[in-house]
Structure 1
Amino acid sequence: MIRTVINCMLCAVIVLSMAACGREPPEQRLRLTVAAMQEAVEKGRPKDFMESVAEDFVGNGGLDREGLERLLKGQLLLSPNVTVQTGPLSVEMGAGDATTATVRFSVLLAGGSGRFVPERGDMQELVSGWREEDGQWRLYSASWKPVGAD
C-alpha cells in the first residue's frame, strides 16, 4: 500500500515537472538551446551540438549540415580545449506564431590550434535562423563574419 502511494506520488511529480518545462516561453527555450550548444562545444561533444542543427542547415559559402559536423569534429580533434564566449543574444521571434526566430550575437572562440579557431581569440558576428520542430528549436541557417568586417 505504501509502495503504491509512493509510486503514485513519484508519477505525479514527474508529470508536473514535464508540464512545467512545457510552459517555458519559446524565447526562453531557444536561449537554453543556444547555451546547451555552447556547452557541447566546450565539453568536446559534437554529437550533442548537432542535435539542434536542422537537416537542411545552410551556412557561409553553402556549408551544409554534414560540412558543419565535419568542421566541428575536426576542430575539436585539433583543439580539444576550445572556449566559446558569447555576447548578449538579440532574439527576434517570428511574426505571428513564434515558431521561427533570428538570433544575433557576437562570439569569441579561443583555445584553438590557429588553423580554424585561433589560439588567442577571434571575435565573430553571428546571425542565425531558427525554427521549432516537434517542440525543439533547430538551427537552420547561420552566417558569420569578423567583427567590424563589412
Structure 2
Amino acid sequence: MALLALGMVACRSGSPEERLRQQFSAMQAAAEEKRVGDFMEGVSADFAGARGMDRAALHNLLRLRTLGNASIGASTGPLDVQVQGDTATVKFSALLTGGSGRLLPEQMQAYQITSGWRLEDGEWRVYYAQWDPPR
C-alpha cells in the first residue's frame, strides 16, 4: 500500500506537461488493452468531437471497436504539447489498427489529431478532439 501511495504522489508531483503526458499514455494503454471504462475516465463530461460527437457517442464507438476486434493498436507520433495554465492543446499523428490478433492487422487508419485538455479536479481530461486523415 505504501508503494502505491508513493507512486500516486510521484505522478501528481510532476510538471503540468509531465502529468498530461502520463494521462495521455494511460489512456492510450487503456484503449489498446480494451479497457474502455478506464479510457473514458480521462474524457470530460462535456466532450465534443469530430462531426458533433459527444462523450456518449465516443464511448459507444470505443465499445464497438473493442468488441469487433480481438486486438487493437494505437501508435502515435511525437506529441506537440502546449500548456496554457489549466488548459492544453496536444497535436499528434496516430495509426490505429484492429483485427483478429494474428500477425498482421486487418484494419488500419492514420489520423492527424488535435485535442483540447483541461484540468478538472486536479486531473487532465480531454474535452475536445478533431481527427482528420493525413494530408
Structure 1 and Structure 2 fold alike (TM over 0.5): yes
1:143 corresponds, among 112, 130, 135, to 130
The residue aligned with 2:98 is 111
Assess, with a 3 A threshold, how the Cα gap between structure 1 residues 24 and 105 changes in structure 2: closer, same or farther.
same
Instruction: Decide whether aligned partners of structure 1 residues 112 and 61 sit closer, same or farther in structure 2, where only a CA change above 3 A counts.
Output: farther
Deviation at 1:22, TM superposition (A): 2.8
Is it true that 1:61 corresponds to 2:51 in the alignment? yes
Which protein has the bigger strand share?
A: 2
Q: Distance in 1 between matches of 2:30 and 2:97?
A: 15
1:22-64 Cα deviation digits (max 9, x unpaired): 3200000100111111101110100000000000000011100
Which contiguous aligned blocks of 4+ residues in structure 1 show a shift greater than 4 angstroms?
13-19
TM-score under structure 1 normalisation? 0.80
| Structure 1 gap segments, 5+ residues each | 1-9
Structure 2 contact 11–19 (Cα < 8 Å) conserved: no
Q: Is residue 40 of structure 1 aligned with residue 30 of structure 2?
A: yes
Which of 10, 13, 16 is matched with 1:26 structurally?
Answer: 16
Aligned to 1:122: 109
CA distance in 1, matches of 2:36, 2:8: 27
Indicate the SS of the match to 1:44: coil
* Count of aligned pairs: 131
Tell whether the 8 Å contact from 1:56 to 1:140 is kept in structure 2 after alignment. Answer: yes
| Post-superposition offset of 1:122 | 1.2
Q: Is the 8 A contact 1:44 1:80 kept in 2?
A: no
Tell me which residue corresponds to 2:79: 89
The CA deviation at 1:112 is 4.0
Residue aligned with 1:121, SS: strand
Q: TM-score, normalised by structure 2?
A: 0.88
**Any unmatched runs of 5+ in structure 2?**
none
DSSP-derived class of the 2:113 partner:
strand
Q: Does the C-alpha gap of structure 1 residues 28 and 122 become closer, same or farther in structure 2, counting only changes over 3 Å?
A: same
Query: How far has the Cα of 1:16 moved from its partner?
Result: 6.0
After TM superposition, give the deviation of residue 132 of structure 1 in Å.
0.4
Deviation (angstroms), 1:80: 2.8
Higher Rg: 1
